[in-house]
Amino acid sequence: MEDSFNNIYDGVPKDVLREAIMAQYAECEVTHHRALTSTWELERHERWKRFHSRCLTHFQAQNKDCQNKLELWRQWCTNMGVDTGSTEQDIIWHLLDEQTSALNDTQEHFKRIERIGIARGVVLSSQRGGQAIPMKDSCGSDSEVSGDSDEETSDDLKVPHAGDLEISVQSDSSGHSE
């Protein structure tokens, strides 16, 4: 087969032979770059593998050191009479969760009553977002409300807006609420 290629090249004009040589040179360059690229791909993988391995070793050593320090701290706290268990904290988080749930239920109930009060004219809807002010009895059925007394009556008490009472509790990454 090689002899037939030689025969072909022997019989072509010089300018055609020059084109064949340049095409073959380009083919060699492409093959060379592919081989070089593959070599660098292997080198790149090897270098990243070494980097990740060294990082892992470094962080494992740091973690071991931190774990040792943590254990020494726990022992010191225990010797000083400080409970290092998380049981008490878990109980407090549970209680906070229950209290927050109860507060949310109470706030929802307050909001429903407030809406009824607004609808019936007991609370002015224009005060939503601030301190709500109950309206005086316009019929004058209550002598204390309709009288000219300067004393504050139970109807003069301001009803706070439900939004003023809200407490937000958010969970952290461990599942506990804050």
Q: With 0-12 CB in 10 A as exposed, 13-18 as middle and 19+ as buried, what is 118?
A: middle
Average pLDDT over residues 68-75: 87
Q: Minimal CA–CA distance to 134: which of 159, 111, 165? A: 159
> Using one digit for the tens of pLDDT, what is the confidence trace for 73-125?
888 888 887 766 666 677 788 888 899 999 999 999 888 888 888 888 877 76
- The whole-model pTM stands at 0.35
Q: Supply the pLDDT for residue 9.
A: 81
Cβ atoms within 10 Å of 39's Cβ, excluding its own: 10
Q: Supply the pLDDT for residue 149.
A: 41
Inter-residue contact 142 to 108 (CB < 8 Å)? no
Inter-residue contact 161 to 130 (CB < 8 Å)? yes
Better pLDDT: 152 or 19: 19
Q: Supply the pLDDT for residue 3.
A: 65
Q: Supply the pLDDT for residue 151.
A: 42
> Using one digit for the tens of pLDDT, what is the confidence trace for 123-172?
776 555 555 545 555 454 444 333 444 444 444 444 444 444 444 445 45
Q: Supply the pLDDT for residue 58.
A: 93
